[in-house]
Chain A
Amino acid sequence: MENPQKTEVVLLACGSFNPVTNMHLRLFELARDHMNATGKYRVIKGIISPVGDAYKKKGLISAHHRVIMAQLATQTSSWVEVDTWESLQKEWVETAKVLRHHQEKLEARGCEQQDSPVLERPGRKRKWAEQRSELNQKKTLEPQRKDVPEVKLLCGADLLESFGVPNLWKREDIANIVGDYGLVCVTRAGNDAQRFIYESDVLWRHQANIHLVNEWITNDISSTKIRRALRRSQSIRYLVPDLVQEYIEKHNLYSAESEERNVGVILAPLQRNTAATNSRTTTA
């Protein structure tokens, strides 16, 4: 019944997760349903990769807590998990590098012929190993082999549109992300996202690799609003998983003070990319 030609996909979501909310979790569910329904893909895993503290975003609390909250949030998920690699790096890591890290991890695992990330039926392992040994004959360096799962960046429309913010992304990274990996973008405003893609040469070139997923219901649970509600002693129940709400309360994570963290500090990507631009112009 399973079509062996389907490309296996791992959905990777990068972000602050400050804190993780039901909206973040919904993105995974919507994206998986969408990709599976195309008939071409089979989503086998979801990864939440909280950004490291070196990102220096305003109000960003310690990665330690953000990771734990994400873990609590995914406790009842059978396929979404948290990865701490990015959060443990001392310097901020570009999203393209996080994607590469996870893709390489999958390829290394594939070569070692160990367990696949998620196996739902034991019989598949044998079938998969047979396929891989055949394909290894014609091994290429491209990550698009059907036997190694493809990592794709899962995001909302805000991330897509942030590609337009000067110095936030390196141009080559954007090309790398949409060209070599792919984007699964969940959005309420599909038309706006399509227009944004249309108006960008690099996105337009790789539009086949950008999957727009419709979110029909307004689900505006942003972390910013959660933190604001907490500062005002308002309830955040049913906006975040219960375990996350309890953890936040127990550790009193968000306050007026925590919101002041990194005030006046330049966001890591802006600092890095602006410095790079400056050094290029001065040496020109």
Chain B
Amino acid sequence: MKSRIPVVLLACGSFNPITNMHLRLFEVARDHLHQTGTYQVIGGIISPVSDNYKKKDLAAAHHRVAMVRLALQTSDWIRVDPWESEQAQWTETVKVLRHHHSELLRYLPQEEGRGQGRAVSPAPAAVPELKLLCGADILKTFQTPNLWKDEHIQEIVEKFGLVCVGRAGHDLKGYISDSPILQRCQHNILLVREPVQNDISSTYIRRALGHGQSVKYLLPDTVIAYIKDHNLYSTGSSCKGNSAQNSEGEAS
């Protein structure tokens, strides 16, 4: 029986904060990959960007990592990896992929030297493929001049592969046909349709928090509690007690 290719999904981003939508990406991507019959998803990694990315309103990396960790407490297959967030300089996505790929190879069970009368495993230990998991908006950014190096896009798509989850208002196939590099490596780009439109952006969450509005059910309760405990994303700490009176007493 043909064995499936093991895959690890890696998502890079600000996760400022992490939301249910980010978590959904993993679930939807895994289902899709399994459905193809070709892949077996064996793990997921969330890699929050470092503070040096210098994006506006970016909460400190240790907070963002802590929030992701809380969000993943109930997941049995996705984990957070702080390596990227701990780097002194901003790290290009392709380098993050290279890093995690070499880590994957390092921790492979030692079956490369088979053939010398060793105990045989049911199937040769296939090297897991590391794929970049992203939303449609990331695929679109490949078009932005100077945001990505062409050779990086090429390496990401050719050597690793992309799993791209669709989002309202984005034409995935259009983005691919608009880019020669992407078009060339189409076979390595898996487009996943998300049937449940779920457009929870971190920006929206930050804005709602700044206004004292509820964000319950958009991200895990544990993350909401962390945000409140550390007073993240409020436009001013003195605003904590204003119109949010009625939301403050929540168990979350």
Contact = CB atoms under 8 A, between A and B. Distances in A.
A217 B200 contact: yes
A22 B197 CA distance: 13
Given A22-B20, A36-B246, A77-B250, A217 B204 contact: yes
A141 to B, nearest CB: 30
B201 A217 contact: yes
Contacts of A217: 199-201, 204
B154 interface: no
Range of interface residues on B (Cβ < 8 Å): 20 to 34
A251 to B, nearest CB: 19
B141 interface: no
Nearest to B250: A78
B217 A225 contact: no
Given A78-B251, A239-B24, A42 B196 contact: no
A37 B208 CA distance: 13
A220 B197 contact: yes
Contacts of B28: 234-235
A32 B23 contact: no
Interface string B227-252: 00000000000000001001101111
| Most interface-central of B218, B246, B247 (chain A CB within 10 A) | B246
A25 B216 contact: yes
A249 interface: no
A225 B196 contact: yes
A76 interface: yes
A228 B31 CA distance: 14
B198 interface: yes
Interface in A19-34: 22, 25-26, 29-30, 32-33
B206 interface: no
A22 B27 CA distance: 16
Contact of B195 (A25, A79, A120, A225): A225
Given A42-B246, A76-B221, A77-B250, A32 B197 contact: no
B91 interface: no
B1 to A, nearest CB: 20
B73 to A, nearest CB: 10
A91 interface: no
Interface in A41-90: 42-43, 76-79
Nearest to A24: B217
Contacts of B249: 78, 120
Contacts of B250: 77-79
Given A25-B217, A238-B20, A219 B30 contact: no
Interface-central residue, A22, A36, A217, A220, by most chain B CB under 10 Å: A217
Contacts of B243: 36-37
B213 A238 contact: no
Contacts of B251: 76-78
Which of B30, B198, B243 counts the most A-chain CB atoms under 10 A from its CB?
B198
A97 B218 CA distance: 33
B31 A234 contact: yes
5 contacts: A26-B217, A217-B204, A229-B196, A237-B24, A238-B20
Given A25-B217, A218-B168, 9 more contacts: A22-B20, A30-B214, A32-B247, A33-B213, A120-B249, A221-B196, A234-B28, A235-B28, A235-B31
